[in-house]
Amino acid sequence: MKVAIFGAGTMGSGIAQVFAAKGHTALMYASSVASAQKHKDKLAASLAKRVAKGKMKNAILIGLEFQSMLPEAEKPQYTEMYEGFYHLNGISGNVEETVLKYIVRDHDKEIFESRKAMGHTIADFLNKKYGEGTVVVETSDTYYNMAEKIRPHMYLMDIAAEAFKELGVDTPNVRPVRGGTDGSRLSYMGLPCPNLCTGDHNAHGKYEFVCIQSMEQTVELLIRIAEKFKDVKKA
C-alpha cells in the first residue's frame, strides 16, 4: 500500500513513520526539496533505531548510565563542609534525546577543574561504547570559591568581627558556604564581598524560611559595619 502525506512536519513525519514501520510505502510532500530530504533523513534515522536489532540507542538509559558512573558518595546528601559534590539538578527528554543538568561544586580550584574533567572522561568512554557524538558535555562556570579574593582583604573580616562583638556575639560561627552566592560573583568582579549571615533555614527547599528576628539582627550588624566605614574617603 502507498500512502501520500502532505506536509513533512512533526505530524506528517509521525504518520509516515507509522506506515513505514508496517512495511508500507509512505510518500511525503514538503514545501521544498531541501525540506523533504531533511525530513526523509530524520525519518530514516528514527526508523533505524526503532526497527534494527542491535542498533537502537536509548538516550534515557545512556543518561542513567552517565549518572551511575559519577562517584556515588560525592552527592550533596553525602557531603559536608569543604567536601565537593556532583548534584543532578534536572533531567528531561525521551528515547531520542535526553538532557541531564548538573551543579558541580568544590572549594578547591584544582579539584573543581578535575570534577568538570570527569564529565568529559565519562563522555569519551560512552562515545567509544555507543558511537562518536552520542554524548555531548557542555560546561559553564557560574561561581568560584570567594576565599581566593577575600584573603588579600582580611581587614573586612576583622571589621565584621568587631561589629559582631559590639552586638554581643563574641565568637561568630564561621563555616564554609556550600552554595553559590552573589558575594562570590561580586568578589570576582573586583568587589570583595564576604558572606556575613542570612539567618535562613532549610536553604533551597520548599520549607526554606528566615525569622524576622534574624533579619532585624542582620540589619543591626550591617548598620554597625557601615558606621565603621563612614569616615573612609575615596582615593
User: Which pLDDT band holds residue 235 (cuts at 50, 70, 90)?
Assistant: very low
Task: Tell me the H-state helices in 22-154.
Answer: 33-51, 59-68, 109-130, 147-150
- Residue 69 sits in a domain whose CATH number is 3.30.70.360
What is the rounded CA–CA span in Å between residue 233 and residue 229? 9
84 with 74: CB under 8 angstroms? yes
The range of the structural domain enclosing residue 100 comes to: 59-130
Instruction: Give the per-residue pLDDT at 124.
Output: 96
- Poorest-confidence range of 69-73, 148-152, 166-170, 173-177? 173-177
* CA angle centred on 145, ends 173 and 73, rounded to 5°: 85
Same domain, 155 and 218: yes
Same domain, 28 and 72: no
Give the confidence band of 185 by pLDDT, cuts at 50, 70, 90. Answer: confident
Q: Is 82 part of any domain?
A: yes
Structural domain count of the chain: 3
Q: Does 124 map to a domain?
A: yes
23-32, 78-87, 194-203: range with lowest mean pLDDT: 23-32
